[in-house]
Amino acid sequence: MKTRCFAVLGALAFSLPAAAQEVTLKIAHFLPSAAPTQQKVLQPWCDEMKQASGGRIACQFYPAMQLGGTPAQLADQVKNGVADVVWTGPGYSAGRFPAIEAFELPFMVADATSSSKALWKFYQQHAQAEFSAYKVLAFHTDGGQAVHTSKKSVAGLTGFTGLKLRTSTRVGAKTLAALGGQPVAMPPAQVTEAIAKGVVDGSLGAWELVYPTKLSEVTKFHAQPAPGVAHPTATVLTVLMNKHKYDALPADLKAIVDRTTGEAMVARFGAMFDEVAADSRKRIAAQGNTITTFSATEVAAMKRAAASVEDEWVKQVGDKGLDGRKLISAARELTGTNK
């Protein structure tokens, strides 16, 4: 009898380490599950990790804030272990991550691919301290925000006057105000209804959002700079992992996470956002909507009007002990927008 008991206990002892090395990552974000971010980046990433780990890494998605709260609370949800991984915008938590906001300043981002690579370098060189509570898996930009409106086209600087537009970050709100518009803060999920009810006239937003949030159904006019020209504003986005969850992984699973994130994930996000933007513009044009391109003269006028946003930002981050001018200079050098 004793021999049988020892045999059973021995078998359990050998099986426990293997079981302990299996992990299911709870991944939360603020868009519907059909959004390109989940379907074209995060899900393929999970599939890659599952295959590389022989099935020992799995993912469970919680899109559209299914774990509760608001997009602004995602950073805390992953920090506190409510989620294991989140995709979110640091700027949704206004003022909490000031250094990384440099990439949301006016006319900093022209596309997703190049600006995301630049942002990753910027994070490594200038913003690691403010994300020390997380395992940072990636940073990227949305490629710049176009103007999506329901009733009239925005033709240059004067077109923003009095226009109520949803903005995603405090820097974006200040930029819109400097251009003469009226910023309104709200989660992406509420924007379509707000436009339909006339609460706002439209939204500043990446093309990636147009179909997942059904902006395509309530807006008829779209405006943006020419290809290669930086946009009035952009959103910084990030994939954050709970630090304790990462630290508890066996070394071989950590290696898989490391190998599939960082520069690899940054590049994947950048390419996807640019690809989806191009496809969305084609689809929008095909359904008869108007897409307006800002002229060089109009962009120059907008830059002059928004110049004060940088000055104000430098003062605000200076109060937090950061050298705003140095951060802006570094960001513009990395993005090539200092010309």
Whether 303 and 219 map to the same domain: the answer is: yes
- Whether residue 193 lies inside any domain: the answer is yes
Whether 248 and 201 map to the same domain: the answer is: no
Whether 123 and 55 map to the same domain: the answer is: yes
Whether 136 and 272 map to the same domain: the answer is: yes
- Whether residue 17 lies inside any domain: the answer is no
Written as one string, the DSSP assignment of 37-97 is IIIIIIHHHHHHHHHHTTT-EEEEEE-TTTTSS-GGGHHHHHHTTS-SEEEE-GGGSTTTS
- Whether residue 154 lies inside any domain: the answer is yes
Whether 199 and 66 map to the same domain: the answer is: no
Q: What is the pLDDT of residue 335?
A: 98
Q: Could you tell me if 163 and 296 are in contact, meaning their C-beta atoms sit under 8 angstroms apart?
A: no
What is the CATH classification number for the domain harbouring 246?
3.40.190.170
Q: What is the pLDDT of residue 36?
A: 96
Q: Which residues of the chain fall short of a pLDDT of 50? A: 1-20
Whether 64 and 198 map to the same domain: the answer is: no
pLDDT tens figures, 74-98: 999 999 999 999 999 999 998 999 9
Pairing of β 202-205 and β 164-167 = parallel
Whether 162 and 183 map to the same domain: the answer is: yes
Whether 59 and 112 map to the same domain: the answer is: yes
What is the CATH classification number for the domain harbouring 296?
3.40.190.10
Give the range of the structural domain holding residue 167, as residue numbers without chain letter: 146-233+287-308
Closest CA to 99 of 131, 126, 59: 126
> Total domain count for the chain?
2
Q: What is the pLDDT of residue 5?
A: 44
Q: What is the pLDDT of residue 21?
A: 59
- Whether residue 166 lies inside any domain: the answer is yes
Closest CA to 241 of 44, 52, 66, 27: 27
d(CA 66, CA 46): 19
- Whether residue 332 lies inside any domain: the answer is no
